[in-house]
Amino acid sequence: MLRFSFRRLLTNPVAGQTRKMSGANLAGSQKSLSGMVAIVTASTDGIGLAAARALGQRGAHVVVSSRRQSNVDRAVELLEREKIQVTGTTCNVGKSEDRERLVNMTVEQCGGVDILVSNAAVNPFFGNIMDSTEAVWDKILDVNVKSAFLMTKLVVPHMEKRRGGSVVFVSSVAGYQPMPALGPYSVSKTALLGLTRALAPELAQSNIRVNCVAPGIIKTSFSEALWQNEDILGEFKKQLSIKRVGEPEEIGGTVEQCGGVDILVSNAALDLVYGNIMDSTEADWDKILDVNVKSAFLLTKLVVPHMKKRRGGSVVFVSSVAGYQPIQVIGPYSVSKTALLGLTRALAPELAQSNIWVNCVAPGIIKTIFSEGLWQNEDILGDFKKQLSIKRAGEPEEIGGVIAFLCSKDASYITGETITATGGWSCRL
């Protein structure tokens, strides 16, 4: 049974909904958040407003906030015109009394809290990090990090009453690649990455998911000094596959018979080897790499001309958690899944020139026929659960949803990336 389990582990059939890249937003057309209540901080402009709009379009009652009443009034009026359920109030997240009032008002007027999007941030400093003062650090860490945690602490009891919820922190690409003139701000955004990982295992016990979004350069008033300066923007563009600035909505929100191809989901895979990698044969490697890697590339090569005719498209490869953490007894299979991570990164810059995005999904343990020997064996599954924050196997639909997101307009500023959907299994390459 153990042999069967590992041989059939970790790749899953997924049937994701598809959409034309030029068509209506798939995710936005579904009221998937109907009946839920979402608090979005700093949500009267930019990314915060786009997030509130996206949540509202999916059926959530959104609670927007800003330090200025005039900004709140304007945002509420805008969202109400779009038939979105919305409540607004002033809130300075750096003040404990404002945070408490925001949460209390939400519970009293909306009945509870299901979602928190922590978007508020400040940056009062520009220059060499060694010139920053203690007051600068206090301000940035208070608003960008401490308030994110303290808001989470306030909403969690209300989420627990509703048997679950979702927390999303808005970090930044600067959290991964600190910007020299924005040192303290960059550090605060790195801290949010750590806060996400620290909270996720603990809150998963209450069915509360904690995740983070790290946008690049987005056209907001907060970052206008970057994208309005052609010299600075030009330098940033050199590092981008998609040679433009992102829009807030892109953060707020994955041939013959049909007339063309817009989306390719490359999911096919096999595993022939169970045992020590040194015992695998050349024939084993040929078969595994032919199906798991080469076919993914060759299919992409076939569909790209058709995507170009339609002025764009989306390619999604299905890798595996084994691509990040090779499993000893399925070595060649694990290597093939790592190769897909590299294929994603290699193709993305080249195909971005044709408005074709290339991304990847790396599932964990999913309840499919392919892996039933694993998740039906309580002893084996129990060992894997020890590494998970969400203590269960995933459902195919949970991977299908990620794939649909990557193929949707909501993901139009994402390329060359891999989303791990592993139940909290830490994945780093």
| Active site residue ranges | 185
Q: Tell me how many degrees the CA angle 353-359-422 measures, rounded to the nearest 5.
A: 165
The partner residues of 209 in beta bridges, in order of sequence, read 166
Q: CA nearest 421: which of 25, 116, 118, 12?
A: 12
Number of H helices, E strands in the chain: 16, 10
Handedness of CA 95, 101, 104, 107 (dihedral sign): negative
Residue 105 tokens, joined: 């008002």
CA dist 379 to 11, 370, 375, 385, 386, Å?
20, 18, 9, 10, 11
CB-based burial, 283-302: b 16+ in 10 Å, e otherwise? ebbebbeebbbeebbebbee
Q: Show the tokens assigned to 400.
A: 């299908």
Under DSSP, the state recorded for 228 is T
Greatest Cα pair distance in the chain: 70
Token couple for 363: 């599932």
Residues 6+ apart with CB under 8 A from 162: 112, 113, 114
Distance CA 37, CA 40 (A): 10
A 10 A CB-CB count for 179 gives 15
Of 425, 344, 356, give the one whose Cα is nearest residue 385.
425
Find, among 403, 273, 251, the residue nearest to 329 by Cα: 273
User: Do 194 and 187 touch, CB atoms closer than 8 A?
Assistant: no
Q: Which two tokens mark 89?
A: 């109030």
Q: Which of 10, 12, 30 is nearest to 404 (CA)?
A: 30
How far is 143 from 66, CA to CA, in rounded Å?
Answer: 13
